[in-house]
Structure 1
Amino acid sequence: MTGPTRPTGPLHRLRTLPLRSRLALLVATAVAVAVAVAAVACWLLTRTQLESELDNSLRNTSAGQSAVQDALSNCGAPTSPENRTGFAYVQVVLSDGSRCVSPFSEPVKVQPQDVAVATGTLHQSLHNSVTDSGAKVRVFTKATPYPRPGTQVAVTVSRPLAEIDASLNRLALLLTAVAGVGVLGAGVAGLWVARSGLRPVDGLTRAVEHVARTEDLAIRIPVEGEDEIARLSRSFNSMTAALASSRDRQSQLIADAGHELRTPLTSLRTNIELLARSEETGRAIPPDDRKALMASVKAQMTELAALIGDLQELSRPDAADPGPLQVVALHNVVENALERARLRGPDLTISAELSPWYVRAEPAALERALVNVLDNAVKFSPSGGSVEVSLSPSGELTVRDHGPGIPADELPYVFERFWRSPSARALPGSGLGLSIVARTVHQTGGEIALRQAAGGGTVAAIRIPGAPTPPPETPGTG
């Protein structure tokens, strides 16, 4: 059983050539075809012009009664080649098809058109014929009165076509030479065009090979002009810049994650080592201390689990599909988040005024984002304080706490990964919550902002596109 046959046609061979060779070959072929078409057109136009001039010359050549009489008087007498010196060949054609040749003319074979003119069927005729010796001639035949009254004959005036054939042959040779030089010039021009046109592509190729070999994303290609090559270079520079930024963010994420993981892991290892040493040495830890130690281990494990979950959430690319979007009743999602927030802040007064608002989002991600916002408000609220939550009829959700607030110079950084205010570093958390909130809100097409509240505290404002009533084709969920 034989394998598939590989294509070997001219088109396949052309595709296997390097791009520079293909471009040079195509340019040379295009110019060669253009030169050939121009040469043929020039030759045809010249031939038409020469034939037209020959026809006009034959029409203007007069053959009067004296020429007719000379031909008739020489009728039947042979004409020697040395006497055939006339500018044109003249002969008389009778109605029976016989001919009488002028003394200084080459005999020309009589054609049916000549007989038709002699019999009066045609007034005149212009056609090709040949001499008795086989030379091609152009013939103009015209009716003329016969010396006898009441009759007419045809007089033919002929000139050799060799007059224009020689000129056309010389022109053909000249055009062939010019076309050959043009094709050679086209080949050279094609190579030059290919080399000049593909020089930026060569630079791009070297840059790509350098990136593939060294993983150096800092390389940039100089951009000149506004053509397609320049657009390709700009796109490559943008791609490498985006890749470099992505790699930097990845490295920073790993570094920040390692830093955040180090503290709970160190504390957890210390507590576990204390428990292990107690077991090895037989020294029992006082019950109260052991209870506090176990509570600390449990809290650190909870913190590690939350941190790992946040890292998994942030490990997805920003452009990744967040999941199937559904029409969600935002007021119901807020109610669910409020129940969890009240459990985490039992000593706080959490009030809510919620108007109906329906949005298109991923329910689980949206609820987690709102829980993070409320957790921040609970975490930074003083004991016995209050948190006000409002969902206005226009769809703006605000969460206001009465905590220490965020200084104005720190507000631009609150949504960065692992960023934590210096005043909040002693509190539990990884600094990833608001980053996840901002990412979720932006994926739904919404906006989020933090601002200082009048009288102290912070206001988190979230606005997600939606409507106060669910779409009729898709009922709200939640």
Structure 2
Amino acid sequence: MSRFDPAARFRALPLRSRLALLVTVAVALAVAAVAAVSWVMVRAQLNDQLNRSLMATNPTDQVLRTLREGCALPAQTQPDIAGNLNATVQIVTADGKHCRVSGRTDLPVTETDKDIAAGRQAKALYDSSTADGVDMRVYTFTAQTQPGAPIFAISVAKPLADIEKPLSTLAWVLLLVSGIGVVGAGAAGLWVARTGLRPVDELTDAVEHIARTEDLTVRIPDEGEDEIARLSRSFNSMTAALASSQERQAQLIADAGHELRTPLTSLRTNIELLARSEETGRAIPPEDRKELLASVKAQMTELAALIGDLQELSRPDAASPGPLQVVALHEIAGAALSRARLRGPELTFTSDLRPWYVRGEAAALERAMVNVLDNAVKFSPPGGAVEVSLRAGALTVRDHGPGIPDEDLPHVFERFWRSPSARALPGSGLGLSIVARTAARAGGSAELRAAADGGPGTEAVLRIPGAPTPPPSDPSVVPDQ
């Protein structure tokens, strides 16, 4: 920053100093403008009054007397024909001769005076100066002693000091008042800046406190409806959201640690048994060894699935691994159904998948449907049936298992929640949480309810709103006309 750059130096000032300075400059400009206009208007009024006063002076009788006496009266004995008007009166002839009737000094004769005395001009108002340097305002007009007599001119003058002194006094008064006003405006601006920015100071202190202590429970008073109150409410909402996010993150870590502990402990136990067998040379019976290896494989599979679910849930709600596009939900449901048939080969699957197009992420939607179908496979009795239908954007999966108690239904989409009857079965308790999150991200919803026909089992319903048009890459689909 250049030390001679006023703009840079102004930007370097604190905000309240800049506000106070701007208020002071604005008031100073306003006061200066008002003072200048007032001074000019008063000057114009005084000049107008002086002109009217000069034009109203009528020294005709005194002039005639002076002319009869041949202008022989000494200046100190001449009558004060202007009375208390402090005027100088002078007679001017066409040849430039003049005779002072009243006043302490002669007025210089100008060409304008000669023209008026010769009858070439009727009257004139102008400024002039006497021999001793006194500025005068002069009014010259034609006159004659009687009709038919020679024309001459009469000049009536008053010193400009009559208006310059009041104007000078007025200028000093305006300057003093303006100075007091500017100083007062500066003080008021500083007070207003401090008062108005006090909520900003509180907000700054709160932000610094949070940055220093990471305490997200701090709240700022947000009374009122002005911009500062809105900013305070926005800040409080932000800190509340951050605190909630931090709490959810801590809860997710705690739940993940709890869920990871079980497969890791079992996996460690089985591996230690295998390692001890190798170290001691005591062979494990083939059947037991086979069961141990199968258990290790199952636990590793469960651990990998849990880590995948945790990675999915750890993404922010606004994040998405790919762009949203129009996809065929019935095709995704068909692919998920094929995977479910491989996981439950002993079950009977029936499907009614009608065309439906949505705007979403194909991989995430398929994973959500696989999770719903996995639940149906997991809770279906051997040889049971699973019914899948897709109609008007509602994917319904019906199993014929034991069902879910009514008191457990409000908790089925919570992270890591598992009903008491399902804790012995494999799973992490994250599948339905992923389903609900995926549906919400696509603008839909997920629901788990008892079978609509009152029979055994549970219905999972996944609703996704349709896209305006089917994807143009599908030549088999003809849009509605």
TM-score (structure 1 length as normaliser): 0.91
SS of match in other structure, 1:180: helix
Task: Name the CA distance, whole Å, in 2 between partners of 1:384 and 1:101.
Answer: 140
| Contact 2:98–2:109, Cα closer than 8 Å, also in 1 | yes
| Contact 1:91–1:156, Cα closer than 8 Å, also in 2 | yes
Q: Give the C-alpha shift of residue 94 in structure 1.
A: 3.0
Of stretches 207-216 and 441-450 in structure 1, the one that deviates more from structure 2 is 441-450
Q: Which amino acid aligns with 1:271?
A: N
Name 2:394's counterpart in structure 1.
396
Name 1:252's counterpart in structure 2.
251
SS of match in other structure, 2:363: helix
Task: Name the CA distance, whole Å, in 2 between partners of 1:351 and 1:220.
Answer: 56
TM-aligned CA distance change 1:75 to 1:264, over 3 Å: farther
TM-aligned CA distance change 1:121 to 1:425, over 3 Å: farther
| Contact 1:111–1:129, Cα closer than 8 Å, also in 2 | no
Q: Give the C-alpha shift of residue 253 in structure 1.
A: 0.5
Name 2:180's counterpart in structure 1.
181
User: What aligned pairs does 1:272-421 form with structure 2 within 5 A after superposition?
Assistant: 272-392=271-391, 394-421=392-419
TM-aligned CA distance change 1:12 to 1:307, over 3 Å: same
SS of match in other structure, 2:36: helix
Q: Give the C-alpha shift of residue 187 in structure 1.
A: 2.4
Task: Name the CA distance, whole Å, in 2 between partners of 1:79 and 1:429.
Answer: 132
Deviations 1:452-478 (A, max 9, x none): 222232222222222595154x54899
Q: Which amino acid aligns with 1:161?
A: L
Q: Give the C-alpha shift of residue 422 in structure 1.
A: 2.0
Task: Name the CA distance, whole Å, in 1 between partners of 2:165 and 2:365.
Answer: 92
Name 1:124's counterpart in structure 2.
123
Q: Give the C-alpha shift of residue 376 in structure 1.
A: 1.3
TM-aligned CA distance change 1:262 to 1:243, over 3 Å: same
Q: Which amino acid aligns with 2:236?
A: N
Task: Name the CA distance, whole Å, in 1 between partners of 2:97 and 2:347.
Answer: 135
User: Cα RMSD over matched residues?
Assistant: 2.5
Deviations 1:75-122 (A, max 9, x none): 776964786954222223333444332144642233444444344444
Name 1:464's counterpart in structure 2.
464
| Contact 1:271–1:297, Cα closer than 8 Å, also in 2 | yes
Q: Give the C-alpha shift of residue 383 in structure 1.
A: 1.6
Name 1:159's counterpart in structure 2.
158
| Contact 1:322–1:443, Cα closer than 8 Å, also in 2 | no
Aligned length, in residue pairs: 471
Of stretches 433-442 and 340-349 in structure 1, the one that deviates more from structure 2 is 433-442
Task: Name the CA distance, whole Å, in 2 between partners of 1:6 and 1:117.
Answer: 66
Name 1:52's counterpart in structure 2.
48
SS of match in other structure, 1:398: strand
SS of match in other structure, 2:89: strand
| Contact 1:79–1:104, Cα closer than 8 Å, also in 2 | no
Q: Give the C-alpha shift of residue 74 in structure 1.
A: 7.0
Matched, 1:42 2:41: no
| Contact 1:89–1:158, Cα closer than 8 Å, also in 2 | yes
Task: Name the CA distance, whole Å, in 2 between partners of 1:476 and 1:84.
Answer: 121
Q: Which amino acid aligns with 1:165?
A: E
Task: Name the CA distance, whole Å, in 2 between partners of 1:322 and 1:308.
Answer: 17
Name 1:9's counterpart in structure 2.
5
TM-aligned CA distance change 1:69 to 1:314, over 3 Å: same
TM-aligned CA distance change 1:353 to 1:98, over 3 Å: farther
TM-aligned CA distance change 1:350 to 1:114, over 3 Å: farther
Q: Give the C-alpha shift of residue 257 in structure 1.
A: 0.3
Matched, 1:69 2:64: yes
Name 1:263's counterpart in structure 2.
262
Task: Name the CA distance, whole Å, in 1 between partners of 2:413 and 2:33.
Answer: 70
Matched, 1:452 2:450: yes
Deviations 1:425-468 (A, max 9, x none): 11111111111122222222222222222223222222222259
| Contact 2:359–2:467, Cα closer than 8 Å, also in 1 | no
TM-aligned CA distance change 1:470 to 1:121, over 3 Å: farther
Structure 2: which 5+ residue stretches go unaligned? none
Name 1:221's counterpart in structure 2.
220
Name 1:190's counterpart in structure 2.
189
Task: Name the CA distance, whole Å, in 1 between partners of 2:278 and 2:252.
Answer: 38
| Contact 2:75–2:104, Cα closer than 8 Å, also in 1 | no
| Contact 2:129–2:136, Cα closer than 8 Å, also in 1 | yes
Deviations 1:127-169 (A, max 9, x none): 2222232212222233333547164333222211111111111
Deviations 1:268-301 (A, max 9, x none): 1111111112222222222222111111110000
Name 1:424's counterpart in structure 2.
422
Name 2:441's counterpart in structure 1.
443
Task: Name the CA distance, whole Å, in 2 between partners of 1:434 and 1:37.
Answer: 74
Q: Give the C-alpha shift of residue 70 in structure 1.
A: 4.2
| Contact 2:348–2:385, Cα closer than 8 Å, also in 1 | yes
Of stretches 90-99 and 407-416 in structure 1, the one that deviates more from structure 2 is 90-99
Task: Name the CA distance, whole Å, in 1 between partners of 2:312 and 2:300.
Answer: 18
Percent identity, aligned pairs only, is 64
Q: Give the C-alpha shift of residue 209 in structure 1.
A: 1.4
SS of match in other structure, 1:302: helix
Of stretches 106-115 and 445-454 in structure 1, the one that deviates more from structure 2 is 106-115
TM-score (structure 2 length as normaliser): 0.91
SS of match in other structure, 1:102: strand
Task: Name the CA distance, whole Å, in 1 between partners of 2:425 and 2:112.
Answer: 118
Q: Which amino acid aligns with 1:436?
A: I
